[in-house]
């Protein structure tokens, strides 16, 4: 895909007209139109300015620059590299400190990169009860898979619909081939159209949707938060998300406390 096509795709995903983006970036709408149609070759500085005004991620900013033949503006460093040691340490602290409650580190496509002791213990108990999980590290696929989390979720329809709407929202905001592939995989596991048209949960008294798990005769209800690094200047670091789970009732709190001493 050419630079102008990528720029137009990203602009439209953010519901910006050419005129709106041109005004924000202090360029003429004519010049912006020429960039998008390929009649004008933008400089690196121009592409960075447009990326800034569209509030693009590090990955999408690099994508624009690379398509035009320029060097990327941001690094893309493997989490296992030496330079990411402080990041790994911070992640480990967050995961460990959240025990005895589950916590995981996710990438941009919902793949689990790290998990704390409580999360590993929870998965171990599920495997003891129903056998091995499918060979995937993707948490959304595990929710949808009949040999994954799905049999344990009492409110699977509600959870699956919530995750599916979020994936669609992410894909519309930033078209991503990996997310498109994940959605295709989910379509093999469930009726996505039916899930998308399912209304939100009926418990209007609750401020959040809780995961309602039944495991070894115990009902566990929890909700989660997603955290990210606020000063990331690297593609991988910017996309990392830390999901912490919290008990939605006292029985769940006691159960997790007894599992991890």
Q: What is the pLDDT of residues 145-194, one digit of tens each?
A: 999 999 999 999 999 999 999 999 988 878 888 999 999 999 999 999 99
pTM score, whole prediction: 0.89
Mean residue pLDDT of the chain comes to: 94
Which of 20-24, 37-41, 58-62, 205-209 comes out lowest in average pLDDT? 205-209
pLDDT tens figures, 196-206: 887 765 555 67
Cα–Cα distance for residue pair 129/124, rounded to 1 Å: 9
- The answer to whether 3-67 and 82-259 have equal CATH topology is no
C-alpha dist (Å) from residue 171 to 9, 57, 210: 12, 14, 24
Residue 214's pLDDT is what?
97
Q: Is 52 left (phi over 0), alpha (psi -120 to 50) or beta?
A: alpha
Question: Do 209 and 223 meet the contact criterion of CB atoms below 8 Å apart?
Answer: yes
Q: Which residue ranges make up each domain of the chain?
A: 3-67, 82-259
Q: Give CATH for domain 82-259.
A: 3.30.450.180
**What's domain 3-67's architecture?**
Orthogonal Bundle (1.10)
């Amino acid at each position: 895909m050419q630079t102008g096509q990528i720029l137009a795709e990203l602009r439209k995903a953010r519901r910006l007209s050419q005129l709106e983006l041109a005004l924000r970036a202090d360029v003429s709408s004519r010049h912006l139109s020429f960039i998008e149609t390929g009649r004008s070759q933008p400089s690196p500085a121009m592409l960075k300015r447009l990326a800034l005004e569209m509030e693009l991620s590090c990955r999408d900013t690099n994508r624009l620059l690379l398509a035009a033949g320029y060097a990327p503006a941001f690094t893309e460093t493997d989490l296992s590299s030496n330079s990411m040691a402080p990041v790994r340490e911070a992640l480990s602290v967050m995961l460990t400190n959240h025990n005895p409650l589950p916590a995981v580190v996710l990438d941009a496509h919902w793949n689990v990169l790290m998990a704390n002791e409580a999360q590993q213990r929870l998965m171990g108990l599920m495997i003891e009860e129903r056998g091995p999980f499918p060979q995937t590290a993707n948490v959304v696929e595990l929710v949808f898979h009949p040999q994954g989390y799905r049999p344990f979720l009492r409110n699977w329809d509600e959870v699956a619909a919530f995750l599916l709407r979020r994936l669609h929202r992410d894909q519309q905001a930033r078209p991503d081939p990996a997310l498109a592939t994940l959605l295709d995989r989910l379509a093999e596991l469930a009726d996505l159209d039916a899930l998308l048209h399912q209304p939100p949960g009926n418990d209007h008294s609750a401020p959040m949707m809780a995961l309602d798990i039944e495991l070894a005769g115990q009902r566990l209800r929890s909700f989660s938060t997603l955290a990210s690094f606020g000063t990331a200047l690297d593609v991988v670091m910017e996309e990392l998300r830390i999901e912490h789970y919290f008990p939605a009732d006292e029985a769940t709190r006691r159960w997790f406390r007894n599992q991890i001493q």
